[in-house]
Amino acid sequence: MNGEAKGAMHLFVFGLGNSGLAFARAMKDEVAWTGGTVRTVDKAIAVTGDGVRAFIFDGTSAGIGVGAAIHHATHLVTSIAPGDGDPVLSHHRQAIVAAPHLRWIGYLSTVGVYGDHGGDWVDEASEPKPQPGRLSARLAAETAWLAVAAERQVPVAILRIAGIYGPGRNSLKKLNDGRAHRIVKPGQVFNRIHVDDIVQVLAAAATSATGGVFNVADDQPAPPQDVVAFAAELMGVTPPPEIPFEEAELTPLARSFYGQNKRVANDRIKRELGVILRYPTYREGLRALWREDTWRSQGSP
């Protein structure tokens, strides 16, 4: 990024969790100022050490100082999941619409809004049919952010993200901690995405101020039991035994994931944003985590 762009960009991230913090860390040397929200004082202290200005926002009331930060922001990213409505818009919508310097918004959603497609391929033109509850709330939040961007007349990128993995959040760590399971449901596949590739996509969309819906997923949807088996092979350990889906002890949330079977196409991030995935499949991603010995570490505070 050239000096003019560096001086002009002020980034604010609602939700400095796994993906949000990784993006803030990646961009802090490329922008004039980086800030964002966390839920607790301890997390605020941790991210401040990374050179990111932290503001407390727990979603129940407006965050102190957040409105002023939004006023100066040129680029806004939100990764906070909706509950009874979108908490960011519930408390800071007016400030966002009135922000005089705002040039781009990024909203981190989920491929879960597509619902179940029986293992068929979906792309950004596919009709979303989310299950009632948290996923239908996600789709409603997408619509709400599109309305805000239209009112403010800035582009918004809706990033529909597949299952996230990376440092501290991967099958290698689950195996090491004794939490990995090989649950087999015939025909079931999932897409995944390394957190570094989420950062890539966000950076490309933000710096070019590109709007639209983008699937952020890897190139190869795969059965979940294959990922665990590959991680075990890397570690030189015996993989856990396969468990038929019908016999698996799963939480309602975990079981709901298996109710969605689809293959997510990612051509648009390559075609329109010029992204070349660093980890096109889980194999490259897990190999790098194992080789670089970063699989244990936790990226977010």
Q: How do residues 78-106 score in pLDDT, each as one tens digit?
A: 999 999 999 999 999 999 999 999 999 99
Looking at the DSSP bridge assignments, the partners of residue 244 are 184
Whether the pLDDT of residue 244 is over 60: the answer is yes
Residue 17 confidence (pLDDT): 94
Tokens of 222: 């795969």
Tokens of 254: 């975990």
Whether the pLDDT of residue 49 is over 90: the answer is no
Residue 3 confidence (pLDDT): 36
Residue 4 confidence (pLDDT): 38
Rounded distance, CA 155 to CA 149, Å?
6
Residue 126 confidence (pLDDT): 98
Residue 50 confidence (pLDDT): 80
Residue linked to tokens 């309305």: 147
Alpha helices in the chain (DSSP H): 3-8, 18-27, 41-48, 66-72, 87-98, 134-152, 171-176, 195-208, 224-235, 252-257, 267-273, 282-291
Lowest mean pLDDT among 23-32, 73-82, 156-165: 23-32
Q: What is the mean pLDDT of the chain?
A: 94
Lowest mean pLDDT among 6-15, 140-149, 181-190, 266-275: 6-15
For the chain, what is the radius of gyration of the CA atoms? 19
The mean pLDDT value for 105-126 works out to 98
Residue 297 confidence (pLDDT): 81
The 10 Å CB-count burial string (b at 16+, else e) for 30-60 is ebebbbbbbbeeebbebbeeeebbbbebebe
Q: 296 CB contacts (<8 Å, ≥6 apart)?
A: 167, 168, 173, 176
110: burial class by Cβ within 10 Å (0-12, 13-18, 19+)?
buried
